[in-house]
Amino acid sequence: MKKIIIISIVVLAVFFLLREFVYRPFMWKKAINTKEHQLQLGSFIFSKETGINGSQSYQKYYFVFKVIEINGDYVRLSVIRQLYQKDNWKESDFLITSDQYKSLKQTIKNLTITPILFEDLYKGDGPRFTLNDYLLNKYPILKQSRYYYEDIPEGSKNKPMPENPNDLEMYFNMVYSKKEIIEKGQLVPWTMTNSFNNKPLLSNYSKNIDLIIN
């Protein structure tokens, strides 16, 4: 009996290793070379990870990103969320649930998703990230859908890295490596933490990409 258990564990371990280091990379390279799933400006990137919540228990977190800038190896992403409705705040507006995640994979290309400038999310009456009159007047398309992502001005995109060290931390917010996305199917952020001579480094932290949709 003990021998059977050991063999079963070994078989499962081999299966897991083959899936993670052979099958998954093969399927990823196959998909990334197709028009529907290749990385490009405007792509939607789906990712999920297991983390610890406030009660110190494990929880699955789901993310959908929009590619808003590609500048060399720097790929800037923005999270897809929903604006809150006045007096009707829901956690699922800010954190995507498992059911929403599955649904978005099927419907994302048909949804109205509004690019909103970061500073506009802090304007108007009421709490931040809430659908208010200011946002409706500036972005009337929000009447069709509360889905949005934070955008940056067109004049700020595809510019060289700032020379002022104080601006570097903000510049690399939500910026990931294009090479790591294409070759490994992973979101690996560029970071200024522990950098030398004000040069960015690739983080040791990464998230697996589940799917890219165009």
Class of residue 120 by CB neighbours under 10 A (exposed 0-12, middle 13-18, buried 19+):
middle
Percent of the chain scored above 90 by pLDDT? 51
Residues 6+ apart with CB under 8 A from 134: 120, 123, 124, 125
Q: Report the pLDDT value the prediction gives residue 37, as an integer from 0 to 100.
A: 87
Phi then psi dihedrals of residue 73, to 5 deg: -85, -5
61, 93: one domain: yes
- Tell whether the model's pLDDT for residue 112 goes beyond 70: yes
43, 100: one domain: yes
Count up the domains in the chain and report the number.
2
Residue range 90-101, pLDDT digits in tens: 665 678 889 999
Residue range 173-212, pLDDT digits in tens: 999 999 999 999 999 999 988 777 778 899 998 999 999 9
76, 156: one domain: yes
Structural domain harbouring 90: 38-213
pLDDT confidence tier of residue 135, bands split at 50, 70 and 90: very high
Residue range 4-57, pLDDT digits in tens: 666 666 556 555 555 555 556 656 666 677 888 899 999 999 998 876 666 667
168, 207: one domain: yes
11, 114: one domain: no
18, 123: one domain: no
10, 73: one domain: no
To which residue do tokens 């990712």 refer? 47
Q: Does residue 66 contact residue 53 with C-beta atoms inside 8 Å?
A: no
Residue of 139 and 161 predicted with greater confidence: 139
What pTM was estimated for this model as a whole?
0.85
Q: Report the pLDDT value the prediction gives residue 151, as an integer from 0 to 100.
A: 95
80, 176: one domain: yes
49, 135: one domain: yes
6, 107: one domain: no
9, 23: one domain: yes
Q: For 189, which DSSP code?
A: B
Residue of 78 and 20 predicted with greater confidence: 78
135, 186: one domain: yes
